[in-house]
Amino acid sequence: MPKVVIVYLSTSGNTKAMADAIAEGVRSRNVEALAVNFHEADIEDLRSADAIAIGSSTFYYKMLPPMEKFIENLAREDVKEKIGAAFGSYGWSGEAPVMIAEKMREIGMKVIDPVLRIQYTPTDKDLEECKRLGKDIAIRLKAK
Ligand SMILES: Cc1cc2nc3c(=O)[nH]c(=O)nc-3n(C[C@H](O)[C@H](O)[C@H](O)COP(=O)(O)O)c2cc1C
């Protein structure tokens, strides 16, 4: 069964809430999903994943350095041809998800457009959008 791994960096839980809702959306299409904090992400899970979604909130107009490092490490793996998605909560400028999508493309992933950005704490409507993204990822995997 295809597997989607959703990795996030979230300082106060906003991006985590998005990640959990994306996972719920994936599972609603009967595809296995795992949402995990970036420093608990298991490289084996990422290697075996068919799709990887990466989320980070924006700090000082970019993603936080540990997430940048995480993506650099991911680039050493064979992630080419995997489906990618980028998301994150933000306050006023929201660069991080855009930068994540750029980096994912640089390492050869097929990134879903557009990135998903939610301002501050996701509302119920925002969480529905996150679930929608999860469903889209699952549908693309099945079409592969
Ligand atoms: C010190 C600090 C710097 C921030 N810098 C930015 C920024 O440059 N651009 C932006 O859009 N949001 C910025 N934010 C807002 C966060 O991205 C926002 O609070 C987000 O919801 C946090 O999500 P998280 O709980 O997933 O980390 C900043 C927040 C803090 C506390």
Which tens digits make up the pLDDT trace of 45-81? 999 999 999 999 999 999 999 999 999 999 999 898 8
Distance 88 CA to ligand 1 centre (A): 10
Give the residue, by CA position, lying nearest to ligand 1 atom 29.
59
Comparing 144 with 35, which gets the higher pLDDT? 35
Q: How far apart are CA 80 and CA 12, in angstroms?
A: 32
Q: Which of 114, 119, 115 is nearest to 92 (CA)?
A: 119
Distance 72 CA to ligand 1 centre (A): 22
62 lines ligand 1 (CB under 6 A): no
Q: Which amino acid is at 74?
A: L
Is the pLDDT assigned to residue 2 strictly greater than 70?
no
87 lines ligand 1 (CB under 6 A): no
Which tens digits make up the pLDDT trace of 17-31? 999 999 999 999 999
Tokens 């068919």, residue? 50
Q: Quote the pLDDT of residue 143.
A: 87
Distance 21 CA to ligand 1 centre (A): 20
Strands (E), 48-94: 51-56, 83-90
Q: Quote the pLDDT of residue 144.
A: 78
Comparing 141 with 2, which gets the higher pLDDT? 141
Domains of the chain: 3-143 (3.40.50.360)
Q: How far is CA 140 from CA 11, 35, 56, 62, 135, in A?
A: 30, 18, 23, 28, 9
Q: Quote the pLDDT of residue 1.
A: 57
